[in-house]
Amino acid sequence: MSILRLLTGLLLLLSLSLPAGVYAQSSDSEASALLQALADSSYAQKQQVISDIVSSGDERARTWLEAYADGKLAQTKDTGAFVFVLSNRGRDWTVADALSGDTIGEMSRRNIDRIRINNALRKELEGMLSVIDLTVDDADTRLAAARALKGEVDAALAERIGTLLDTEADDDVHDALTEALAIYQVAQGEVAAVAVLSGSLNPQARVALNNAAQSDNPELAAAAAKALESIQTKLKINSAAETLYFGLSLGSVLVLAAIGLAITFGVMGVINMAHGELIMLGAYTTWGMQQLFPGQPGLALILSIPAGFLVAALAGIAIERTVIQHLKGRPLETLLATFGVSLILQQLVRTVISPLNRSVVTPEWMSGSLMINEALSLTLNRLYVIGFALVVFAGLMLIMRKTRLGLEVRAVTQNRAMARSMGIKATRVDILTFGLGSGVAGLAGVALSQITNVGPNLGQSYIIDSFMVVVFGGVGNLWGTLVAGLSLGTINQILEPWAGAVLAKIVVLVFIILFIQKRPRGLFPQKGRAAEG
């Protein structure tokens, strides 16, 4: 028996030292013998059988061991065939052949014996399954397995990891395995391993170093404390980067919400209090498109971009033609009228759709996060919003600089009377400008639907911030809107953790009031005679 165990151990070490991807599938007779040994052996012997299955190199080994850990590996009483239990409801259970993976069908549960397992074996299996993943061809799979081992290494795994490190060719996998081994070694009191964890951002590494810093060994405690200091510095840097990222994403939303307002306010001098509801219409358009294309959130979102623009643009033109054109030159009355329009639009949505918030499904390609390191990950939906805001901004800049409409808008913005005298139809410019600005507000709603719930009050959360961005950046200036939106979003995100959401907004508002006292026309003031006057 001792010779057999020695040979088995040598076989296991040999299998771990082989390059990734050299495993081949065992014959069915050999596979059946391994599974039979697993079924017949005692709990004390099963651990060795599990090692034999791992060392067999059979590509089906992971499937067998996963099914065994889940209590789904069984043997039929009549034929002795090994099966996976796919469904165990009722008297008849659905099973699949453990060797081929083919579904057999239903079988009476009286004819099925599950292979027994206990918690100790389940714990052993976790390490074994990680070892299997560390020997596959795919480097990403090996890297994920190596990262999963951090904080989970025991004496047996430490020995296996030492063997794997000698043959691992991928640098990232090698580093992850080294760190996993160092976490275990620090827990065992090895001072030399502390240097490996210095600067590590892994939570398990910090736990190991914190425990080591409390050690009775003064050398170990001092080394761990020094390593923790370097980690804290890195954590602060990553925290600042995360705050900046969230600030830029919030700023991008403010840019999208305010840039349309900046155009209409700059050209027409109209304080449109219904601008927030145009944002809301864009968000509800996205929700509506998902109802038209159920199960296809990606397609619905892409179609929502032109649809949201058109819906909001048409609504804006309707507001301009029915309300605003009759109140030109009367800013206070325009403000009150558009505030009434905003209330009407909110109530219309509550009546036609629902007063409750609606959730919009985020497409799979916008879900998840981009992992920079173990302390910093960037959510993809916000990353897409930042990119979308920059694309919309670039598109508006092209329109304003390269098209006739842009030329006429700039002319009317600088001096309406002079533009009229040059033959520019200011009324047509007003309509198109208001439609363009409203359409961009609809695009803001499309973007917002991916980071918050859609509801009748959605626009009210951004209308005041939008006006602050326009005033701070300079009325009618797109570059000013971009800089102001990103700046105010970042400042607000920095202030919120220690001041709270409400006080942070108050601080920003006070800052803008003080700033306007010094620069009444904002960061980037308009140019031209009318602006100077």
| Domains with residue ranges and CATH for the chain | 25-123 (2.30.30), 134-214 (no CATH), 237-361+377-527 (1.10.3470)
Rg of the chain on CA atoms, in Å = 33
Q: How many angstroms separate the CA atoms of 181 and 162, rounded?
A: 8
Q: pLDDT tens digits for the chain (533 residues)?
A: 444 444 344 344 434 444 433 334 557 788 888 888 888 888 888 878 887 887 776 778 888 888 888 888 988 988 888 989 888 777 888 889 888 888 888 888 888 888 888 887 777 777 677 677 777 777 888 888 888 888 878 777 787 788 888 888 888 888 888 998 899 889 888 888 888 888 888 888 888 899 888 888 889 999 999 999 889 888 899 988 999 999 999 899 889 888 888 888 777 777 888 988 999 999 999 999 999 998 888 899 999 999 999 999 999 999 988 988 888 778 788 888 999 999 999 999 999 988 888 888 889 888 888 888 888 888 898 999 999 999 999 998 898 888 888 888 878 777 777 888 888 887 888 888 889 989 999 999 999 998 888 999 888 888 888 888 888 888 767 888 899 889 888 888 888 877 777 788 888 888 888 888 888 777 777 655 444 44
Contacts of 100 (CB under 8 A, 6+ apart): none
List CB contacts of 204: < 8 A, sequence separation 6 or more: 150, 151, 183
pLDDT for the residue 465 = 85
**What is each CA distance from 207 to 107, 141, 191, in whole angstroms?**
49, 25, 15
Q: Which two tokens stand for residue 56?
A: 């067999």
Give which of 363, 356, 345 is closest to 442, Cα–Cα.
Answer: 345
Q: Tell if the pTM clears 0.85, that is, is over it.
A: no
Angle in degrees, CA 521, 525, 529, rounded to 5:
100
